[in-house]
Amino acid sequence: MTAVLERTSRALIAVTDALVALIAGGFTCLLIIAVISRYVFDFSIVTGVELTRIAFVWSCFLAAANAVARARHIRVTILRDLLPEGGVAAVNTFVRLITLAFATAMIWYGSQLCLKVLPTYFPALQISQVWLYLALPISGCLIAYHSLAQLIGVTDTWETEKPA
């Protein structure tokens, strides 16, 4: 069971990394092309702003999920580092539980938000705004999965990490 969780976690990280690179590269190119088009050729790419916004949000939320998976997110550890070994493990478990609860809230409230914006459309793209907001529950699912894997002990990144 834990071997399957570990392989799945690593596969999710790899796929998410590839998606983030692809999406971030795509919106960067689109943004550069839109700026050159507007200021050099005096021609605006109408859908450029909306596509860039969607891609930026997706890349941020997917990258945040991988930051949680790798324990590379911002955290304050000054008090945790003063604790004895058992206290550090307890604090890490507590933080993982809070992260799991937050991810669950992302899934729940993100899904509710998606249902609310489903009938609304981007003016230029003429696609539902749900494509922008879907990043929230999907990222929440990834964060929940990685947090659960860390709680079970499949991916144990925090205890082995040295403070900077």
Phi and psi angles of residue 104, each rounded to the nearest 5 degrees, phi first: -65, -40
CA end-to-end span of the chain: 34
pLDDT tens column, 14-64: 999 999 999 999 999 999 998 898 888 888 888 888 899 999 999 999 999
State yes or no: pLDDT of 1 exceeds 80: no
Per-residue pLDDT, 155? 59
pLDDT tens column, 61-112: 999 999 999 888 877 778 778 877 778 888 888 889 999 999 999 999 999 9
pLDDT tens column, 119-145: 999 998 899 999 999 999 999 999 999
Q: Where are the domains of the chain?
A: 2-152
